[in-house]
Structure 1
Amino acid sequence: MRPRRRDFARALLRSFSIQGSWNHRTMTGPGMAFALSPLLTRIHADDPAALDAALERHASPFNAHPYLAPVAIGALARLEHEGEDPDTLLRFRSALRAPLGALGDETMWAGWRPFCASAAAIAFLLGFDAVTAAAGFLVVYNLGHFALRLWGLRCGWKAGRGVGAALRRVPFRRLARVFVLASQVLIGALAAILVARVPGGAPSPWIVGVAVGAGLSGYVVPRHISRVALASLLVACVAWFL
Structure 2
Amino acid sequence: MKTSNKITDKDLNRVFLRSFSMEFSWNYERQMSLAYVYAMIPALKKLYADNREGLIKALKRHLEFFNMTPHIVTLMLGISIAMEKENSESDSFDENSINNIKTALMGPLSGIGDSFFWGTLRLIATGIGTSLALKGNILGPIIFLLIFNIPHIIIRYIFTKMGYRLGTEFLSRLEKTGTMKKVTYGASILGLIVIGAMTSQMVSLTTPLAIGQGEGAVVVQNILNDIMPGILPLATFGVVYYLLGKNVKPLTILLGMAIFGILGSFIGIF
TM-score (norm 2): 0.57
Deviation readout 1:124-173 (Å, 9 max, x if unpaired): 45x561x211111112211011012112112210111749xxxxxxxxxx
Q: How many residues align?
A: 161
Q: Determine the structure 1 residue equivalent to 2:124.
A: 115
Q: Determine the structure 1 residue equivalent to 2:147.
A: 140
> Take 2:34 and 2:100, find their aligned partners in 1: how far apart are those partners?
18
Which has the larger displacement, 147-156 or 65-74?
A: 147-156
Q: Is the 8 A contact 2:128 2:143 kept in 1?
A: no
- SS of structure 1 residue aligned to 2:100: helix
In the alignment, does 2:20 pair up with 1:16?
Answer: yes
> Take 2:64 and 2:133, find their aligned partners in 1: how far apart are those partners?
45
> Take 1:29 and 1:62, find their aligned partners in 2: how far apart are those partners?
5
Q: Determine the structure 1 residue equivalent to 2:32.
A: 28
Residue 19 of structure 2 aligns with an amino acid whose one-letter code is: S
Deviation readout 1:165-224 (Å, 9 max, x if unpaired): xxxxxxxxxxxxxxxxxxxxxxxxxxxxxxxxxxxxxxxxxxxxxxxxxxxxxxxxxxxx
Q: Is the 8 A contact 1:31 1:59 kept in 2?
A: no
> Take 1:128 and 1:74, find their aligned partners in 2: how far apart are those partners?
43
Q: Is the 8 A contact 1:18 1:32 kept in 2?
A: yes
> Take 1:32 and 1:77, find their aligned partners in 2: how far apart are those partners?
11
In the alignment, does 2:37 pair up with 1:43?
Answer: no
Q: Determine the structure 1 residue equivalent to 2:162.
A: 155
> Take 1:65 and 1:94, find their aligned partners in 2: how far apart are those partners?
14
Q: Which sections of structure 2, spanning at least 5 residues, go unmatched?
A: 88-92, 172-270
> Take 2:136 and 2:163, find their aligned partners in 1: how far apart are those partners?
40
Q: Percent identity?
A: 27
Q: Is the 8 A contact 1:74 1:157 kept in 2?
A: yes
Runs of 4+ deviating beyond 2 Å: 121-125
Map residues 68-83 of structure 1 onto 2, 5 A cutoff.
68-83=72-87
What is the Cα-based RMSD across aligned positions, in Å? 1.7
Compute the displacement of 1:39 (Å): 0.8
Map residues 1-242 of structure 1 onto 2, 5 A cutoff.
1-83=5-87, 84-125=93-134, 129=137, 131-160=138-167, 162=170
> Take 2:61 and 2:80, find their aligned partners in 1: how far apart are those partners?
11
- SS of structure 1 residue aligned to 2:75: helix
